[in-house]
Amino acid sequence: MLMGKYIVEYDEKGCIGAGVCAAFSEKDWEIAANGKAVLKGGKFDEAKGLWVKEIDEQDLPANKQAAEGCPTLVIHIFNKETGEKIF
């Protein structure tokens, strides 16, 4: 069975460095020296002005908690296949 793929989008400009994302998902998030979160393995999408990364089903729960806990709500998750916004 294939795992579902999801897209995480992150708007670094709005990040205040609260660190909630890194607390929930050390695998995908860390706080950089500049105090902002880093989406590990993410690629910058020039057109959107956002950091983007694909994740699998197994990484969805931690990233969903990261998105929900972010005080500035700059993390969004979409179902890659349907485009449905998960958070």
The CATH number given to whatever domain includes residue 68 is 3.30.70.20
Residue 87 resides in a domain: no
Residue 4, amino acid = G
At residue 4, the pLDDT reads: 66
The larger pLDDT score, comparing residue 4 to residue 28, is at 28
> Contact at 8 Å (CB) between 40 and 31?
no
Residue 84 resides in a domain: no
With vertex at residue 55, the alpha carbon angle to CA 69 and CA 39, rounded to the nearest 5 degrees, is 55
The total number of residues shown for the chain amounts to: 87
Residue 1 has pLDDT above 70, yes or no: no
> Contact at 8 Å (CB) between 42 and 51?
yes
3-state secondary structure of 11: coil
**Domain membership of residue 16 as a residue range:** 5-79
Residue 48 resides in a domain: yes
pLDDT tens, 46-57?
Answer: 999 999 999 999
Cα separations (Å) of 81 from 63, 84, 85, 86? Answer: 18, 8, 11, 12
pLDDT tens, 13-64?
Answer: 999 999 999 999 999 999 999 999 999 999 999 999 999 999 999 999 999 9
Number of domains in the chain: 1
Prediction pTM value: 0.92
